[in-house]
């Protein structure tokens, strides 16, 4: 069974259980997957081949090889529509820049089809042998980060934790973008762990200016390892920066967008706009990232998705974690009927999650626990999320200096994710602070926690609500579940142990003692 067949099956089952979208939309999506039906249902957009049989996208004439490649890509993505017909629908929504991105993507994939490299491999970092230990050699390691490593969002916490742990035995340097209003505190926290930080105050000044990195490195030792974090960092790639280069997909954005398509009727304007976003994401995640020799995904699902579309590479799986030595706090009694959710709301799956919770689940909980209180903790809450705030039973905090006290206030933590890819570090944070969690299956992807023992997993709103109520009404069960989850994540998701897996990747790339 292919990745896309399996993913489609799992996702449709999840959507049916969640009941978050109109089921007729799913039925229509299945019907419209037939290319003959999709054309017949949209007579105003019938595809008419231009004179000479060439297919044009705006002013660009696609070659037969490019069209063939696009058809193969659409089949891989389970989009059953002829390439020429789809391009007719997309053309009004695409800029000239979008056309250039699609052409670059198709040329890259066409080259791959011609070269016929071996299939890409997905390699779990924890299964690699290692000849490198923490103290065996002192490395010079450069992080080029397209966002500041600010723990206010999950990816920032991951990078900051790796920098902290690596700095115990290696020389760490950071070249990063920096927002003085948002990142000043995180900068001061990170500075003691770095030999040097070059912070660029504007994205435009950071993006696509490798000459500034050249100036930064001019008086520094040669770099053994260069980490590129977030897609913006790829615009500054240069093999001259170091001996080995690694890029991390904090989330396979193209997978997230592909999954979002399942919420929308094919050929609707919203669906077509998602296709344009998918093209942009694939160009970055397949073409731009191909220049890096080691590609790291945070879940097997992300890695498998990318490996299905691109041949000849290796995708290493290295999960998120937390630095237990610094993250954990002495335990405090929770508020008896309090729930907590943690997430950065510029990442729209967090908004989707809480909209699903407030619209479908909370009322069911209140029927049995009228006094339940919900803390929604995280930066940049949208207007929709802020509209749920009442100051008494629903508290939307916005940015807070430290999420941990809010997690500790909760008797039960929640992760009602229904969209998105990547690994949900919030679930690890809940467990690290010994709080029981109820989560959807989307939130638990690639997290090794046992349902019913270390976490409750529920997609149906009624079941989700019942699990929350059960834990609120049985605090001793919640404590036992939280304790078991703590032991599991301490074993599997402590950044100190994940750093040992990172050394495995270094070894696989040829770094030796």
Q: Is residue 148 part of a domain?
A: yes
Domain boundary among 101, 116, 131: 116
pLDDT tens digits, one per residue of 39-70: 334 333 344 444 445 688 888 898 999 999 99
pLDDT tens digits, one per residue of 99-134: 999 999 999 999 998 888 889 999 999 999 876 665
Q: Is residue 423 part of a domain?
A: yes
Confidence of residue 36 (pLDDT cuts 50, 70, 90): very low
How does DSSP classify residue 454? Answer: T
> Are 171 and 81 contained in the same domain?
no
Asked if residue 279 has pLDDT above 90, the reply is yes
> Are 319 and 332 contained in the same domain?
no
Q: Is residue 62 part of a domain?
A: yes
Which comes out higher in pLDDT, residue 287 or 45? Answer: 287
Q: Is residue 513 part of a domain?
A: no
Residue 369: which of 461, 463, 473 has the closest Cα?
A: 473
* Burial annotation 49-87 (CB, 10 A radius, 16+ → b, else e): eeeeeebebeeeebeeebbebbbbbbeebebebbbbbbb
Which residues does 373 contact at the CB level (< 8 Å), separation at least 6?
A: 335, 337, 338, 339, 392, 393, 394, 395
Asked if residue 28 has pLDDT above 60, the reply is no
pTM of the model: 0.85
> Are 164 and 239 contained in the same domain?
yes
Interhelix angle 253-260/300-309, nearest 10 degrees: 90
User: How many Cβ atoms from other residues are within 10 Å of residue 17's Cβ?
Assistant: 17
Which comes out higher in pLDDT, residue 54 or 332? Answer: 332
pLDDT tens digits, one per residue of 386-419: 999 999 999 999 999 899 999 999 999 999 999 9
> Are 87 and 143 contained in the same domain?
no
Asked if residue 22 has pLDDT above 80, the reply is no
**Mean pLDDT (whole number) for 265-291:** 96
The domain tally of the chain equals 4
User: How many Cβ atoms from other residues are within 10 Å of residue 22's Cβ?
Assistant: 11
CA distances from 325 to 19, 157, 424, 485, 495 (A): 41, 14, 20, 17, 9
Q: Is residue 206 part of a domain?
A: yes
> Are 339 and 309 contained in the same domain?
no
pLDDT tens digits, one per residue of 474-507: 999 999 999 999 999 999 999 999 999 999 999 9
**Mean pLDDT (whole number) for 179-193:** 93
134: exposed, middle or buried (C-beta count within 10 Å: 0-12, 13-18, 19+)? middle
- The CATH number of the domain where 379 resides is what? 3.40.50.2000
* Burial annotation 402-428 (CB, 10 A radius, 16+ → b, else e): ebbebbbbbbbbbbbbbbbbbbbbbbb
> Are 372 and 426 contained in the same domain?
yes
Q: Which domain holds residue 90?
A: 33-48+55-116
Mean pLDDT across the chain, nearest whole number?
88
> Are 110 and 202 contained in the same domain?
no
> Are 65 and 25 contained in the same domain?
no
Confidence of residue 35 (pLDDT cuts 50, 70, 90): very low
Q: Is residue 215 part of a domain?
A: yes
Radius of gyration of the chain (CA): 24
> Are 128 and 108 contained in the same domain?
no
> Are 160 and 287 contained in the same domain?
yes
Q: Is residue 100 part of a domain?
A: yes
- Euclidean distance between CA atoms 307 and 295, whole angstroms: 11
> Are 162 and 264 contained in the same domain?
yes
Q: Is residue 86 part of a domain?
A: yes
> Are 303 and 370 contained in the same domain?
no
């Amino acid at each position: 069974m292919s990745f896309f067949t399996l993913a489609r099956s799992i996702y449709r089952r999840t959507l049916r259980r969640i009941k978050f979208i109109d089921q007729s939309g799913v039925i229509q999506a299945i019907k419209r997957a037939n290319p003959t039906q999709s054309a017949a249902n949209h007579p105003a957009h019938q595809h008419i081949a231009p004179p000479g049989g060439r297919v044009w996208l705006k002013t660009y004439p696609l070659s037969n090889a490019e069209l063939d490649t696009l058809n193969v890509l659409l089949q891989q993505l389970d989009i059953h529509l002829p390439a020429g017909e789809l391009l007719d629908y997309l053309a009004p929504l695409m800029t000239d820049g979008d056309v250039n991105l699609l052409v670059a993507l198709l040329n890259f994939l066409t080259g791959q089809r011609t070269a016929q490299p071996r299939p890409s491999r997905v390699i779990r970092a924890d299964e690699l042998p290692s000849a490198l230990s923490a103290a065996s050699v002192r490395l010079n390691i450069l992080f080029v980060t397209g966002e500041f490593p600010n723990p206010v969002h999950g990816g920032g916490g991951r990078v900051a934790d790796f920098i902290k742990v690596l700095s115990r035995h290696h020389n760490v340097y950071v070249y990063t973008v920096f927002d003085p209003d948002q990142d000043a505190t995180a900068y001061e926290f990170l500075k003691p762990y770095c030999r040097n930080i070059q912070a660029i105050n504007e994205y435009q000044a950071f993006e696509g200016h490798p000459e500034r990195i050249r100036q930064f490195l001019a008086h520094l030792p040669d770099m053994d390892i260069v980490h590129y974090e977030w897609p913006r960092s790829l615009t500054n790639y240069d093999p001259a920066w170091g001996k080995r280069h690694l890029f991390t997909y904090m989330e396979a954005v193209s997978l997230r967008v592909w999954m979002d398509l399942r919420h929308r009727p094919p050929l609707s304007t919203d669906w077509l706009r998602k296709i344009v976003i998918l093209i942009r994401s694939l160009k970055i995640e397949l073409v731009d990232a191909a220049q890096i020799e080691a590609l790291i995904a945070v879940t097997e699902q992300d890695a498998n998705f990318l490996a299905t579309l691109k041949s000849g590479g290796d995708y290493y799986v290295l999960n998120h974690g937390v630095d237990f030595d610094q993250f954990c706090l002495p335990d405090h009694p929770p508020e008896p009927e309090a729930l907590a959710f943690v997430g950065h709301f510029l990442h729209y799956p967090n908004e989707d999650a809480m909209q699903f919770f407030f619209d479908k689940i909370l009322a069911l909980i209140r029927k049995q626990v009228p006094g339940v209180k919900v803390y929604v903790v995280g930066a940049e809450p949208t207007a929709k999320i802020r509209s749920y705030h009442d100051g008494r039973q629903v508290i939307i905090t916005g940015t807070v200096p430290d999420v941990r006290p809010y997690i500790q206030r909760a008797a039960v933590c929640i992760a009602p994710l229904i969209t998105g890819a990547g690994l949900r570090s919030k679930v690890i944070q809940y467990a690290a602070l010994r709080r029981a969690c109820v989560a959807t299956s989307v939130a638990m992807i690639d997290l090794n926690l046992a349902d019913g023992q270390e976490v409750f997993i529920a997609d149906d709103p009624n079941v989700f609500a019942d699990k929350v109520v059960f834990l609120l009404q049985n605090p001793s069960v919640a404590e036992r579940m939280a304790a078991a989850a703590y032991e599991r994540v301490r074993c599997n998701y402590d950044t100190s142990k994940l750093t040992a897996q990172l050394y495995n990747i270094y070894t696989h790339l040829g770094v030796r003692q």
